[in-house]
Structure 1
Amino acid sequence: MHIVFSAATPEDFKRLLALRLSVMREHLERLGRFDSDRARARFSAGFAPAFTRLVHLDGAFAGCVTLRPGGEGIELEHFYLRPEFHGQGTGSRILACLLEETDQAGQRVHLGVLKQSPARRFYERHGFVFTHAGEFDDYFIRMPRQGTPSLAR
């Protein structure tokens, strides 16, 4: 599998919003929090094409991820893969590429995960450690690692 990242543009908003809704709907409904208007507003408020990458696998659009510089490192946001890529180790390979970048830059990575989401276990497997709980999300951090072999290639 060949992973390629490309820059997002403002024109990608609708496609990435649709992806977010398809990936998050089930989890938000489980918490009684799904509202398409609120989901659109939240994604619109956080959509930053300058920091968002489209993910392509073997030439096909697979998803997106945002790596936004923050006060104490990098904020990993909006990491969504099309459902047909779930459960195959694809997310792990993509995340390994991203973490290799942040490790080389010596940056810690912060993220929030919707409460009761299976994504929590995914991030914990990749070295993220719980820091605190918010009303709807749990928050994690991963410190930079030195000399870690790449799993992505």
Structure 2
Amino acid sequence: MIAFRPACSDDYSFALGLYTEAIRPLASAWMKWVDVDQEALFASLWHPNDTMIITLDDRDIGWVEFRQAEDELFLKQLYISPAYQRRGIGSRVMRLLLEERCRMAKSMALFVLKNNPALRFYTRHGFQIVRETHTTLVMRCAMAEAA
């Protein structure tokens, strides 16, 4: 069973490891990856109060971070351990998030690296590209249309 639990400071190493595993190969296309610099950046951006650990049968398998900004929910991070990817878990997580948060916001927005295969995932869930930078796409979806 997929569930969420609040993150705590003890989850830092798990979250950092999953972030590094997922982002290093993608970000390396645009920049030189320096572990110590990226770990410092991650430490400055880690907000356990905004983060939920994704569990499957009480086993930690990922994490998600989001923030509310007026009438929009911003999905800052969503990571699923590679061993659990391509099993529909990400889609279940997205549906659970939307069910839990749909009354709190009119839309959900996110950034995704242009070379991230997750772009297809977000498109399948109703997100559309609304802006782009050199390396990222900004995507948005009305909460009623997402799922």
Q: Would the aligned equivalents of 1:66 and 1:77 in 2 still touch at CA under 8 Å?
A: yes
Q: Would the aligned equivalents of 2:73 and 2:105 in 1 still touch at CA under 8 Å?
A: no
Kindly tell me the number of residue pairs found equivalent between the two proteins.
147
Residues 1:41 and 2:40 are matched in the alignment? yes
For structure 2, the 5+ residue unaligned runs are: none
Q: Would the aligned equivalents of 1:102 and 1:109 in 2 still touch at CA under 8 Å?
A: no
- Measure, in 1, the Cα distance between the counterparts of 2:118 and 2:14: 22
Shift of 1:51: 1.0
Q: Which amino acid aligns with 1:45?
A: S
Q: Would the aligned equivalents of 1:68 and 1:76 in 2 still touch at CA under 8 Å?
A: yes
- Measure, in 2, the Cα distance between the counterparts of 1:34 and 1:71: 34
User: What's the secondary structure of 1:135's corresponding residue?
Assistant: coil
Structure-2 residue corresponding to 1:94: 93
Structure-2 residue corresponding to 1:111: 110
Structure-2 residue corresponding to 1:80: 79
For residues 62-94 of structure 1, give each alpha carbon's deviation from its aligned partner in whole angstroms, at most 9, with x where no partner exists.
Answer: 010012112451111221111101111111111
Shift of 1:103: 2.0
Q: Which amino acid aligns with 1:110?
A: A
The residue correspondences of 1:1-153 to structure 2 (distance < 5 A) are 2-145=1-144
Q: Would the aligned equivalents of 1:62 and 1:85 in 2 still touch at CA under 8 Å?
A: yes
For residues 34-59 of structure 1, give each alpha carbon's deviation from its aligned partner in whole angstroms, at most 9, with x where no partner exists.
Answer: 33233223322221111100010012
Q: Which amino acid aligns with 2:102?
A: D
Q: Which amino acid aligns with 1:27?
A: L
**Identical aligned residues as a percent:** 27
- Measure, in 2, the Cα distance between the counterparts of 1:129 and 1:33: 29
- Measure, in 1, the Cα distance between the counterparts of 2:134 and 2:37: 16
The alignment yields a C-alpha RMSD, in angstroms, of 1.9
TM-score (norm 1): 0.86
- Measure, in 2, the Cα distance between the counterparts of 1:45 and 1:137: 20
Shift of 1:15: 1.7
User: What's the secondary structure of 1:11's corresponding residue?
Assistant: helix
Task: Pick which of 111-120 and 63-72 moved more.
Answer: 63-72
Q: Would the aligned equivalents of 2:71 and 2:104 in 1 still touch at CA under 8 Å?
A: no
Gap change, CA 1:71 and 1:37, over 3 Å in 2: farther
Q: Would the aligned equivalents of 1:130 and 1:141 in 2 still touch at CA under 8 Å?
A: yes
Q: Would the aligned equivalents of 1:106 and 1:145 in 2 still touch at CA under 8 Å?
A: no
